[in-house]
Each structure stands twice: as structure tokens, then as C-alpha cells.
Structure 1
């Protein structure tokens, strides 16, 4: 017998694993849930719209895919037309339909899948709706007087029976206006406030194919606060080979078998819609009994009003004027389509921490949550309510013992949420204990639990011990470590003490990495991450031993550069001083100098001799060689160039005497004036300093009086080789000489004149011949004879005059100086 019972048990378990999930099959009980069905039309009238509302409510994390689908069963004989795939909800997904149902040929079965994501961590209640049109109910129509509708989900079900009202002498209507979405218990259409896809109106023309209609005109005035959607989605189960619109309006042709298709393009010229006034007019002209059409449009809610009345009218030469109206309102369901979630700010209480903050969030899935909605939170006995943190403007809070009751003060529209945060004292939670908490929401007089949150008090530690790699007994102080979480965030940081230890206390359980960021002095840094896991149930200290290797490989490289050109400079001498002594060196041809094999510590680098032509940099650089850092430390020194100077001396080209008062200009290589009005002093000198490296030239612009200007420019260059010395230049000027007469010929010594002989007695001259007369005698001249050039008296006179002139000219020239 025992073997038989065991075998049967195995078969039952094995069979349950093989059986596919079906609607109504019970699953593992994960929490409280309920399924409800509500039908508003009682009785069902001829050609009337039937609206079914299915509501699923559940504790948090109860609705899962493994539970299967929601199944809604509709009697086939009461269904005339309608789109049963349009379920008017974002919290459910239409799966498929069976017409007829496989398990009942007299029924239609609609299968819908709940979106379990809404129930994750939240107490949940949501609904979907099905709407369809009943058939024409005339006297003699064969139909059951009562129609039963059923819903089933995961082993639970609900049903509702509606009466059928046959209209005595009822006549088909040539024109009707239909609301093709959800309605409330009063038959008023429910508008989706944020999405037009469910807000569908149909204007039905000759729906029963009972009329010949001539010259048909339909008018419809969209009420204030609503507007026609200009880019509407297509309605499922309508053939959409022609899905064009005229300003958001479509025409649907209904076949005798009930099939429908869009034919808007055929009637484009018959549709008139004024976007400003929101007035619609459609002209069909003449229709036969076989013609049946729907005028379809969707609306957006522009202004929130309590109710909208939408009236449309058809006129025809055969039936006159027929009007029909529909009432619609914004969705404001107070009991359903909402979710309550709970969260806590800490998963763990660490050490002496005693404060927890709980957050309750109430949000709408569809429609508006009305003021007066209630939810509660009962605290664990180890917790004590402290205070409200936020949400007082949205909720009234009342405390009774360990229970907090929250009541919504005002409506919460779709897309908004109400959130309340309060603080509790968790001093009563002992180390190792876990405290749980959940909230409850009242939905249709039932209480449903939110998700449950938990917090555990823990106490633990991570101990890091730092030692020498070659001598484990040598404990190393000064090592810095960081503790990183799984996201790479630093959660703790510290330095090993004199005993080589660092302890991180009360760490939140989880996976971490310990990373060394600075090694002890004289040791190589080891950045290898050390994984460590802190278990939630462990109160032990986790010990980590980390070893370091000594480091004696520090390098300092000096770079010497020209401050202006940035070119590297050779022959700069440096000293490097530390507690171990002084090292020195000189930059090579590449401008570099390396000090290698440096032990960790502090070094002072100083320039003691600059390259030729440069100013020494006296700034001292203090450098730290850090243990474990293997990179070369590069230090750059820049030297400014020394300034050059020049001295120009002006001299007489012959006497070499200094010439004062000569004026010069100093020009650069391009001929630009560097210095102007440079004048030689009493020593004949000009001194110019503070010259940058480059080529220059002196240009004489004014000479001393009596000297010629030397128009030849005197060039020189200031460079690295001569910048430390005075450049000395000399320039000569030639004197302007006066025009002096040639040296006279020295006269010969005069001879002593002979004693003159006694003159003879002159003869008496004859008388001069008078023209026309004959001179018979001459008379001697009475004037003495003048000396001739060759006479000695004249020579002495000329020599004395020349000598006097020479001395006079020389005296004159000396006074000019």
C-alpha cells in the first residue's frame, strides 16, 4: 500500500509538470487576489451597447505570467457587432479570441493577459473593458430572456446575468450615434484623458439595412472641450487597405456579413470638417437598403468638464430629420486602476544606526484617484513611529497604536503620484534580526497588501594587515586603502597605523574590492584589487594580509630649456640634495640630466651654474620620491637670456683724438630704430645696454663740425658667445682741411749795388714833333723810374707779406678749435 501511495504521488506531481497552463488552473498561492465582472446594461435593449468591466486586484507580487490568462465568456446570440480586441487598458494585453469558444460553441471567449510588471512590488488593482452592440430585438426574436457573462482567472471566477428587453413594435433606426468605448454604471461614456485611441465615436447610417434613403446629409457638432484627433490610429478588425482620413474623419462600409472596411477615399469629396468650429458634415446622396456605413472619428479632451453631450443629426428626403446624442465624461473611477508601493531607505542597519525612513507611493494606472482613498501601514512592534518627513500636503495621517492611516486630501490625475515619507526608530531591532513591513490599500471594500520591505541589523568588520614581503613580522604603517563597492564607488578609505593595521567596521553586506592607493615609504605600490565579500548573516571580522616589496628605483630627469625658444640647453649644472648627501650633474647636448637609483624620500634640486649667455634660475625645487611609483619624475628649468651691451668710441681718423658731440642711431637687422639721439660724451663714447640677442648697426646722423659724416653703418651682433661681455666698437671721422696757398719761392740774396758813375751832363732833348710839325729837339723826363719785378726791393716786400699771411691763418684756425 505504501508503495502504491508513493507511486500515485509521483504520478500526480509529474503530471502537473506536464500539463500546460490553462485559464482557471490554480498556481502556487503567492498572495491574496480577486477577479470581478461588472455589466452596466440591465436590461439589454435592442441594438443597445453592452459594456463589461473586468477588475483584477492583488497583493504585491501576486500576478505572475505563470498564472495564465483572464478568460471572458460572452453568449454568441447577444453579440451583434463590435471590436472585442479593444480592451481599453494599458494594464492588460489582448491575447486572442475564440468565436465560437472551443469549450462552448454557443459562446465567444476573449483571452486577456495581465501585465504583471504593474504588480511587482505594489498592491495592485486594474481593470479592462469590453464593449459590443446587441442585435435588433423585436417581438418574436428567438433569444434567451437572460444572458450570463463569465470571467475566470487562476482558479477564481465571477459572473453576472443581464435581462433582455424585446421592444414591442420596435422599429429599426435609420441613424444612430454610438460611443465605442467604456461606459460607467449610468451608461455614460468614459473618456481617456491622455490618449485618443480609446475615445471612438461612430455615426451609424442604415445599420439595420432597412431603409431607402435619398439625399442623405449627416451633421455633427463636436462639443466644446473636445477636438477631433487629426492623426487617428486604425481600429482593429476593420480592413485598412484604404486607411486615409479627411482631417481625422474616416468612412467605414459595413457588409451584410458584418465585415467592415475603410472606404474614405471614395467619399473624400463628400466630407466637410471645419477645424475651427469642430463641425462635421457628410453627404451620401442616395442610399439603398443594402448600403450601411459608419462615420468614424476619435477625440482628444482639451478642457476637463464634468460631462460632454455630443449630438448628431441625419436629414433625408425619405425619413426627414433624425438626431441622436451621447454623453461622455472624464475617467474618475475611485476604486480601481491604482497601485500602492512601499520602499525603505536602508536594507541594513549598521552599528549604532537607529533611523529608518519608509516611503509609500500611490499612483494611477488609468484615470484619476479620487480624494478619500485610504491606505494603512501597521508597524512591527520593534519599530516606533517618529515623525512625518513629506507628503503632508497630499495626505492626512492618523496614528492609532502601531497603525498609521493615510487618507488622500485631493484628486490625483493620471500620470501623477502621491508620495508620503515617514521616519521610525529602529532601536528595538537587535544585531542579526530582520524587521519587515508592508502597507494595505482598500479597494472595493477589500484590503490588499503592498510589497514587503525588510531591513536587517548587522555588525561586521574588514581588517587589513600590511607587512613587508620578505619579512612578515615587519608591520608597515602609512599604507592607504580604499574599499570600493560593485559599482566602483569608494565607500570607505583609511591608512594603516603603527601596527600596520586598518579596520573598516560595520560594512553594508555585499561584494567589495580593497585597493591600495599609496604604499608605505620605501615600498612599491601594489594596485591589485583584493576581492572581499561581506555576508549578511556573518558577524565575523574578515582579515586581509597585504604584502609590499621595497622600492629603490626612483628617477628624476632634469630638462633645461631656453625660456623664449623652448630649445633645450646644454652645460647647465645642478645639484640634488637629500638626507643621503649631494649629487651633481650637467645637462648634456640634448639638454637633459638624469639622477637615477633614488631611494624614496625628499630631494632638493637646484641650478648652480647656468649655460653661457643665460641668467641662472635660483628657484629650488622640492621633489618627493614616493615608494612604489615607478614613473620618472621630470622637472623642467627654463633660463632667460642675458642682455647684451655695446660701447662705441668716436675718434679723429688721424690724430685718434676722441670726438665729442657726434650723434648716432641704433638700428636692428630690419632697419628699425632701437635707440635714437645717441651722442658721444667727452670721451667720444656711447654706451647702450639691455640688448636682446640679435643683429644691430650704428648709423651716424650728425658729425662734429669740421668733420665729414661717415655714412657707412657699423654692424655688430649680440649672441650667446658675447652677451656676457661688453662689445667695444670704434668709428673714425676725417677732418675737413681748409684751402691753403702754395709755399712761396724763397728770393735770392740781393747783390750790393755798384757805386753809380757820375752821370754825364744830359743833353737837352729835342722838342717833340708836333703833328704837322717837325720836332727838332728832345727834352729829358722829370719823374724817377719805378723798380721792376726783378728788383731786390720788391722781393723783400713780397716775402714779408707771405710770412705775415701764414701766421695769421694759423692763428685763426686755432681759435676755431
Structure 2
């Protein structure tokens, strides 16, 4: 009792201590969490910025075309001046776009080409005297318009020059030449473009600024080594200068211009003067007729995209050849069907001036770009059509007198061509003008763009296997006026081959498909079996190149086969001959990837093959990979193509008369090898018959004693088979009547009543004993 009380006190004390510790740490954790909570406030300030948008549309002069009020077809050549009250949409002359490109054919004598980029205010190093660069030399629209003719602000004009530089005038990088613009040409946009020779090499750049009457060609160093034949062209597009119009009435007029005012200020293309959008102007009914059911159909050609919601129009009248706007007029409908823009008005009784915009794509800076647009008008009273083409860009050609050289490099012993020799060309002053010239597989170098004068071609790098030449310079002269190239030949002397050595090349391949095998290792033995070199390994192409071998007999032995192949350790004999190269192919056979299994089922004693046994094969994971395998009359099962790995053999059905195999048999399959498993089986044990029950002796006091009949002879025991199974015989029931040997039939045996009484008494005693034990245990507890 004391022990129980002590234990209870200790147990309660432990519980109280544990509760105290838990409360202590719990409160500390809460305090820590409170002190580390992030309570930093978040402040968000979103300033409001107002960006006003200012749209400025410069005024445009809309030309008129002389037409009658009847149904006619006209082509517009000059628009009318446009002035608006509410919306200014036509550009002034300062906002219209002029663009140029030019290409000059001039020789290049240096492989390093520099490009001089002209700025808005170029600072010339030296002004180059030039012919063909004055305003009087300019050709306007290929000579159709002279510098003194009237030109119009709404029309595009192509201005071209054919220039030349006098012979022997020195040209250095940064030198400039000035081109004068005719008085009847107005440049409305900055334009800069490269000037190129026929090969596409840049020799300089041309720049012209809005409102200026001169343009500047700035050279790089490409023409420094030229003295004659410096000619070229410059051409660009610009606008005219006159806004007067003598035409009074017209049915339909069409005009267009490059519009950069719609481009964003961050548009690099627009900021460099490259067009991004166009504005098209359609003017009709200058006589202010009453027109009904007016339909304008405008065809937008490829390379342009209509800007939606860009259609705007004003109505007004003509005054002294000028359009006076009286306000905005809104079309009844604007619809884009395919590439046709259809604009409808139900009634028109005034002069209408209409505009819309398109964006342009794939603008080239090396040629003249053209954008064409055609408009037709139909009404109940009239019909007409007009078209206009906007041009931008430029083009040019040129040529110069230059010489060339063809140099051939040969082997001095065999006269065979030598590739890989590197040269440079120097002028008479020793300046390198071309470098890094390398002979091709034919041993040839071709160098052109050489001005007349004296030169020397110098070998700067000798190919492997050749001696540096004592004479590594070859002089030559370019003669003015001669077009044929200068032909030169040079020789290099090869190093002599080292005597007394040879070479053997081994090719390691697959025996089936001759595929190169990487990673095979060999050892090289001499005639006495001494190791000369080891290990020698085949490269990524399956090649083993053994050079500088002394003449004699050798053998090559494979010591490591490529992965997945059988080792071929047979020595390969070969002979090395001085100055000769021999080769040999060594083939390896792939290792098999599967193995096979043979199962033999036999009697455990006689070793006789047993047919009819059935097996399953399981892999290392317990998965059945083969099932229903049955031994044949030879007691065998053969299984081919089993991958490497561990397996178990499980007998599912034993042969008739034999016990099933209790334990699975483990076995391992090795690639390329055959595995055999012998499975013995034991015969089933034979159970002997039950022996007869012996009769009991009769009670002597029983008056009804019947003499028992003579018992039948006891059967002889069956010989015990090898390892018989244990079988328990059934009980012989009481009251069995044996046969009456005297022929009077079977009689009941004496003593049966005694047996019944004894059984009842035994049951009563057992019950009493069991109850006594139970009572005793209760008393104990």
C-alpha cells in the first residue's frame, strides 16, 4: 500500500512540473512573436500626369484639273490650295518629305572599309574639286524639267547629278564635296544615305537638310589609293516651289504626301527621315454642283495599310484658285472592303476637300520607293477618276579605274599548289593596303581595287611543312589603262622528310556495319615482344595514328575493347617501311545483350526426366515475365532472350505422382551466356490401409455369452515407401459386428453397456473437476 501511495504522489508531481514548464515557454513564444511582427505601414502615391496632345495638320494646296460638268474621266496633275477653319490637314512645304539615295561606283583598295556619317552641320577636312555637282548640272525628272521651269509644292521631283573627280586629286577620309540645289527645287526633309560602289562597298555618305540649297558628300578612306576614274551619281526626291494654280473647275483631283506628323516622337524610323505614313487628299466638285448619291472608291495598293478613323473632310468654295473652308462635312458611311475604301455622301452641293492616312511598310533606303493611289467618283450627275504617285528615296551607280593581281603559290619540289599561305600587299611607301590574303585550295590569291602604281606582295605566314623563303617578297606594278590582272607565281620549299621512319594507321570498326569505334585501347609490341607504347587509344573517328615508327616488325594487341564489344586480343602483325604509310582495319564484335535458360526436371532418386511440370519465371521485382512453361518428354524447358538480371523459377504444377516444389529456385542471367537449372522432384508418399479392430473379450458373468468367431487373419503390412507422408487412420466405431465364421450370422458383443456407463461417469467427473477449479480461482481472487 505504501508503494502505491508513493508512486501516486510522484506521478502527480511530474504532471504539475510539466504544466508549469509548458506555460512558461508558451508565454515566452507569444512575446517573441509580438516583438517581431512587421507593422511597417505601406504608403502609395500615384501622381497624376496630364499629357496634352496637340495635332497640327499643315495646310495643303489642292490642285485642280480642268474638266467639264458632264460625265468625263480625268487624271489630276495639280491639286488646289487648301485652307481650313476647323481642321488643318494639308502639310506646308516645310513638312513635306523629300528623300534621297545614291550609289557611286568607285574602287576600293583597302579591305578595311570605313563609313563617314554626315551630321547636320558637317565639318569638311578638305573640299574636293568636282564636276557635275552644280545646280545647272542637275537633271530634274530625267531632263523633262529644266532648273528654270515652274515646279509645284504638291509634286515630287527626282533630282540627279553625274559627278566626277579630276585625275590625281588626292582623296582622304573626311574630305567633302558640295552639291548645289536648283532654285525651283525645295527640300522638305533631312535625308542621309550611303554612297556605294558596284560591289556594295560604302565610299561615303550624302546628307541634305530641309530648306537648304546645298547637299554634302563626305568621303571615307575607300578612295585614298585611287587616282583616276572617280565618277558616280547622286539622286534624290524633293518638292517644287510654286503654289499657284491656273485651273479653276474640276470634278475630281488626287494628291498625296509623306506625313511624319502622325509618327510618335520615339519613332526612330521617322526621326531619321524614313517615311512611316502617307496622307492622301481627294478633292471634288470644285464648281459646287448639286450632286446626289456620291460614291468615292479608293484603291489602296500593296505596301500600305489604311488607318481606321482617319477620314476627315471639309466643305467650302474656290476663291482665286484657293480652297476656302466653311466647316466640316461628315460622310454618310466609310467602309473598307478588301483593299478598297468606299466613302458615300447622299447629297453634296459644295466643293469637298477629303483626307485619309495610310501607313507604309518595307521602305528601302537604297532605291526610289513609289506609292500609288487611284480614286474614282460616281454620282447621279457625274463620274471621273484621278490618281497620284508619291516618290521617296534615291539610287546611283559608278565605276573607277583599278588594277588587280592573281598570285599563285606552289611547292618548289612537286609544283603542287599550296593552300594556307598568308600574304599582304604594300604600296611603294611601304603602307599595308590589303592584308590577311590567304591562298585557297588551288594555291591562288586574287586581289583587286589596286590603283596604278608600284606594289609588293609579302608572305607573312608560311604553311606547316614548308621552310620560310629567303625571298618572301614579290614586287609588281599596276599600269594605268590596262585591264588585265597582273600574274605572279611564288614557290615555297618543303621541309625534308625524316628518314628511317614510317607510319601505321589503325581503323577500329564494328564487324557488322564498319561503324567507327571510339575508346579501344592497344599496346604496341616490337619483334621481341617488348612493349613500345601503351595504352594507345582510338580517337572520335575510331582512328589510331602511329607515326615516326622505326622500320621493322610490330604487333598490336587490344587490351580494352570499346564499350559493348568483345575483346579481340589476337595480335595484329604488321611491318613498318621507312617513308611509307600503311593502314589496317581491326574489327570488333558486339557483345550480346541477352542470355538463355534451360530447365531440367528429373526424379530426385532415379534422375529420370519428368515431363508435364509447369513453371513461371519472375523477375527481381516479383513480376511474372514467363508463364505456363511446361517440360517436354525430355524433362526440359528452354527459354531464350532473357535480359541480364536476377530471376526466380516457381513450379505451378508438378508431374503426376510427384509433390510440388515447395521453394522457388533463384537464378541469374548473364548477357551472352546460357544458364542451366536442374529441378528434382520426389514421388508422393503411399498411405497404408487401416488395420482391422480387435474384438473385446466377453464378460464371464454374462449369461448371454456368445462365443466369438475366429478372427480373420491380420493382413501383412505394406512395405514403407521412401519418405512416406504421414496419414492418420480413421477410428474404428464401437459395436462393429464381425462375420460369424460358423455361418449363424453376426451377434452383438458383450461389454457394450459397461462402456456406456464408464463414459457417462467420466463426463460427470470431468464436469465436477472443472467446477472445482473455477471455484478455487474465485476464492483466490
**Richer in strand (by share):** 1
Tell me the TM-score normalized by structure 1.
0.37
Give the TM-score of the pair, scaled to structure 2. 0.38
Q: Rg larger in 1 or in 2?
A: 1
